Structure 1
């Protein structure tokens, strides 16, 4: 995602051009990638929250516990959002009479229509699902604390669940402002504000690793084992 609009902001200010308007192939691919990667990332997080909820509400192994099934879910999400955004390859981008690249489509206005759709697909729907699953996680954590006598189990569940709650909260405050501004205030908002919100949005997607590293002990141990393998 770092090679999307955020990179174009840099190229525009530093070199006076953007990849999205460099050529028709670049325009189609970048337009597709900017929405596809964000939506896939958001819905993968939804299924992580669902997996955490199921692991707490069903103590036995669930369908999500098998790596093959997890791979199926990932492939399914990728296919779905490839289909949803495939219209960029078919209809988006054409040359104006003066030779410049137009990022709209000849037959319909992609923007701001797709920004409105993206607000639902990338922000609203995933956030609602994440909130619902996290509420369920918190409920089962409280229940687990009251009923479980195994302290290690309680700590492990609490650790990963805390991580998910933090990432969900950050998802709200770091991604929605940019999507709302570009969808509803693009023509009136100051470019600095738009770029600032866009930078905050992209920053969110690189925070997962440090957040998991700081808040999730088991993840931290696995990372250290990869860096410093035991002999």
Structure 2
């Protein structure tokens, strides 16, 4: 662990989900679904709206009591207490300033904030000078930076992200992707996204969820390490391939 109490986990586990089942209003979203997340890598999950991506993420995080499935970590330990969640909305508390929103977890646990870790992360996301600002005084991109810092403040080896940059403008979204790609290195991450280019920029490998009941197929692993340049010609060519694959699967 670093001197500021924040470092990349040395042993982020791989995760295997098997036998996943979930019914909603009599319709089977999943039925005996399986999923593998490699240790210390970012997996990106794509698929059409309503197919069950967010439900699958919630199942893995233990937030969906209606779902069934066996979740195993590669190190044999339970995942409980080792997962951080980042939602699509920033979910900042309007009556708390930036630094108190970052340390919300400690507040809920009735623990003192880790000042060095908080400052380190606010510097990393470029908001150290806005530590005393309330959310209403921040732009949408700034608010998402706070949400990212809050997620990383928990310093967990496993992170689940549900379209966290979807509501941002194109330029801010690219900036946040670059930031997240660096800060999430070494952790086991599952990122749900509708954006093929985002998946190609941030994912070590890509997964596609389609059908009813839904099934997962692996698309392909982009070359190089994330975050990848958005104007890389090879990445843009892969984006065209991925879009075509997604259209075929949606039309199947």
- Output the TM-score relative to the length of structure 1: 0.24
Greater percentage in helix? 1
Instruction: Report the structure number with the largest CA radius of gyration.
Output: 1
Greater percentage in strand? 2
**RCO (CA 8 Å, sep 6+): is it higher in 1 or 2?**
2
